[in-house]
Amino acid sequence: MKTFKRIFLGLLAVLGFLIFLLFLSVFIDTLIGRDRISALTNTNIPGVNGAPDVRAYVAKPKGEGSFPTVIMIHEFFGLNESIISKADLLAEEGYFVIAPDTFRGSTTSLIPRAIWQVMTTKQEDVNADLDSVYAWLESQPDVDSTRVGIAGFCYGGRVSLLYSLHNGGMAATVVFYGSSETDPDVLRNLPGPVLGIFGGADASIPLEEVQAFEQGLETAGVPHQISVYDGQPHAFVTSADGIQNDSVQAEAWDEMLAFLDANLKTNMQQLREGFDYEAPFPLQYYVMLVYEHAFGSH
C-alpha cells in the first residue's frame, strides 16, 4: 500500500511539473513574441463600434481597378508567414486580399499557446474585429465591396463560416478543414455559396462531421461544394511553397480558385460578353438587368 501511494504521489508530482512547464512555455513565448505581429502586418484598420484597431497584412493585385476581395483567416497559431505567403499567392490571381490578426496581437509557433489563444478568444470579439475590417474594405477604392468573400484554415475555417453567418455581405465562404456547423436552421442564414475542403485522414474532424455539414447545407438549400481529399491529414495545405510543390495541395488550392472565380469574379462585362443579344429578349438580358439593379455595373 505504501509503495502504491509513493508511485501515485510521484506520478502526481511529474504531472504537476509538466503542467508547470507547459504554462511556463506559454508565458515565455508571450513575453518574447510581443512584437511579432508588428513585423508581420502592413496595415492598421480603425476599429468601429468601440472595437480596438485591427492589425492586418494586405496583398494587392497588380494594376488598377476595383478588385474582388478575400478576407483570409489564419490557423490557430495566429497570423504568420504561412498565411502571408498564401495571401500573396492569391493576390497574384487578381484578388485584393486582407489577412487580419484575430488574436489581437498574439501569434505563436507553439501548440500549447495556440490552443490557449483559441480558448481565450471570443467569437463575438472576432466578429467585431472583422466588422472593422469589412467597414474598412468598403471605403477602399480598389475593393469591389459587392464581391467580398472569406476563406480560412483550421481555426480560420470555423471563423469564416461563423462570420458569414454574422455578416450577410459575404458573397462566398471557403472552409479549409474547420469545425462545422451542421444545423440546417442555422446554415440557412448563410448569404452565399460555401466551399468546404477536408482531409480524409483528419483525426480532429471526422468524416461523419463533414457529411453532417454537407447534409445540413443541402437541407438548408445553400449552394455548396464539399471535397474530401483521401489520405490527407488536418491542415494539409501548408503554405505557398507547399502549394507550388505538392500536387495535392495544388489541387485543393486550384479548387478554391475555381470557386472564388465563379462566385467573386463575375461582373457586368463578363455577363454582357456571354449574352446572345441577337436573340429576341433572351433570358440572360433579364438576368443582367436584375444583377445591374442589385449591384451596379461593376
Domain boundaries, the chain: 1-32, 35-266, 268-298
- What's the distance, Cα to Cα, between the start and end of the chain in Å? 80
Q: Residue 218 is which amino acid? A: E
Annotated catalytic, 224? no
Encode the chain (298 residues) as per-residue pLDDT tens digits.
666 556 655 555 544 534 434 444 454 454 454 578 999 999 999 999 999 999 999 999 999 999 999 999 999 999 999 999 999 999 999 999 999 999 999 999 999 999 999 999 999 999 999 999 999 999 999 999 999 999 999 999 999 999 999 999 999 999 999 998 999 999 999 999 999 999 999 999 999 999 999 999 999 999 999 999 999 999 999 999 999 999 999 999 999 999 999 999 975 444 434 444 344 434 443 343 344 334 443 3
Task: Give the pLDDT confidence score for residue 10 in this predicted structure.
Answer: 54
Residue in 129, 131, 144, 154 annotated catalytic: 154
Question: Would you state the pLDDT for residue 4?
Answer: 57
Residues 6+ away with beta carbon under 8 Å from 19: none
pLDDT for position 158 = 98
Known catalytic residue: 234?
A: yes
Residue 293 a catalytic site member: no
What gap in Å lies between CA 215 and CA 88, rounded to an integer? 34
pLDDT at position 20 is 39
Q: What is the pLDDT of residue 47?
A: 98
Strand 194-199: give its sheet, edge to edge: 43-45, 54-59, 96-100, 67-73, 143-153, 172-176, 194-199, 224-229
Cβ atoms within 10 A of the Cβ of 191, count?
A: 14
So what's the pLDDT on residue 26?
52
pLDDT at residue 11 in the model: 55
Query: What CATH fold (topology level) applies to the domain 35-266?
Result: Rossmann fold (3.40.50)
Q: Give me the pLDDT at residue 13, please.
A: 52
| CA–CA gap between residue 295 and residue 298 (Å, rounded) | 7
> Catalytic pick from 166, 234, 261, 298?
234
DSSP annotation of 274: T
What are the phi and psi torsion angles at 60 (to 5°)?
-110, 145
Please tell me the predicted confidence (pLDDT) of residue 282.
Answer: 40
Whether 79 and 54 have beta carbons less than 8 Å apart is answered as no
